């Protein structure tokens, strides 16, 4: 079930974000950035996961310009076709503006301490990387981000912690792309890259075919450590 709140975008339009509030807040906020399936059950569960750890969690509806409230899965060819169509029609720059607007909204919420982290998956993984380059977030985490290798020219702008979780057998991120990411970010002291041998794209998505409980727990634990260090208090 969605718990939508309205966010005012930089262009004056309004869009929705799913909100999960913590029972015992620690002050920090986490922006959960969707895959290509919209703010679906998996994304809402991720928001709740971080709320359970004390963070205000928001998952903005980034496909709203094409179709508001997309909520699909990876279970059928028809859903995959729709997901790829939405992905291909997505304006990354406008999506970044929407994420920045979501950050502004989160900072103004009751109980927020102003510290913001993002965590993104697939498409959201690339957007988390770009948020490191283009925004004033306190930290960002990308899981199996697609297309990061195409935006390495922005890496010089990284001044806050960025953690990337790379699936070594990712069907959507080639070995060459993975190598470019590692080489392109190797000299930046703010970047930490974790690789997961044998893992495919979406290994951390509960219920997905590639889900691997052990490696998902390892990645989530590393993310939790970063958030605890940079967002609490």
- The question of whether 170 is a catalytic residue gets the answer yes
Q: Tell me the mean pLDDT per 10 residues along the chain, length 233.
A: 95 97 96 98 98 98 98 95 98 98 97 97 98 98 98 98 98 98 98 98 93 98 98 87
**Parent domain of 139:** 4-231
Catalytic choice (61, 170, 200, 212): 170
Q: Check which CATH number belongs to the domain holding 227 and give it.
A: 3.40.50.1820
User: pTM to 2 decimals?
Assistant: 0.98
For residues 142 and 53, give the distance between their C-alpha atoms in angstroms, rounded to a whole number.
19
- Expressed in angstroms, the distance from the first to the final Cα of the chain is 30
| CB-based contacts of 80, cutoff 8 Å, min separation 6 | 74
Type and span of the H or E element at 92: helix 92-107
| CB-based contacts of 69, cutoff 8 Å, min separation 6 | 2, 16, 38, 39, 61
pLDDT at 209: 86
From 127, 139, 121, 129, select the one nearest 219 (Cα to Cα): 121
Number of domains forming the structure of the chain? 1
Torsions phi, psi for 206 (to 5 deg): -60, 130
Catalytic choice (18, 105, 165, 201): 201
């Amino acid at each position: 079930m969605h718990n939508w709140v309205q966010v005012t975008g930089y262009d004056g339009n309004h869009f929705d974000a799913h909100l999960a509030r913590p029972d015992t807040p620690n002050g920090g906020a986490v922006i959960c950035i969707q895959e290509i399936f919209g703010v679906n059950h998996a994304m809402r569960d991720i928001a709740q996961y971080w709320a359970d750890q004390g963070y205000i969690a928001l998952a903005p509806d980034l496909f709203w310009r094409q179709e508001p409230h997309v909520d699909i899965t990876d279970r059928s060819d028809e859903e995959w076709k729709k997901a790829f169509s939405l992905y291909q029609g997505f304006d990354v720059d406008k999506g970044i503006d929407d994420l920045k607007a979501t950050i502004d909204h989160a900072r103004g919420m009751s109980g927020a301490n102003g510290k913001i982290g993002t965590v993104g998956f697939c498409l959201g993984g690339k957007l988390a990387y770009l948020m490191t380059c283009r925004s004033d977030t306190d930290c960002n985490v990308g899981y199996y981000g697609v297309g990061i290798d195409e935006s390495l020219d922005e890496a010089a702008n990284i001044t806050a912690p960025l953690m990337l979780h790379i699936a070594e057998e990712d069907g959507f991120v080639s070995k060459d792309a993975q190598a470019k990411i590692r080489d392109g970010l190797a000299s930046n002291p703010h970047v930490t890259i974790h690789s997961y041998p044998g893992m495919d794209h979406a290994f951390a998505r509960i219920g997905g075919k590639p889900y691997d409980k052990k490696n998902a727990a390892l990645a989530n634990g590393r993310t939790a450590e970063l958030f605890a260090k940079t967002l609490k208090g």
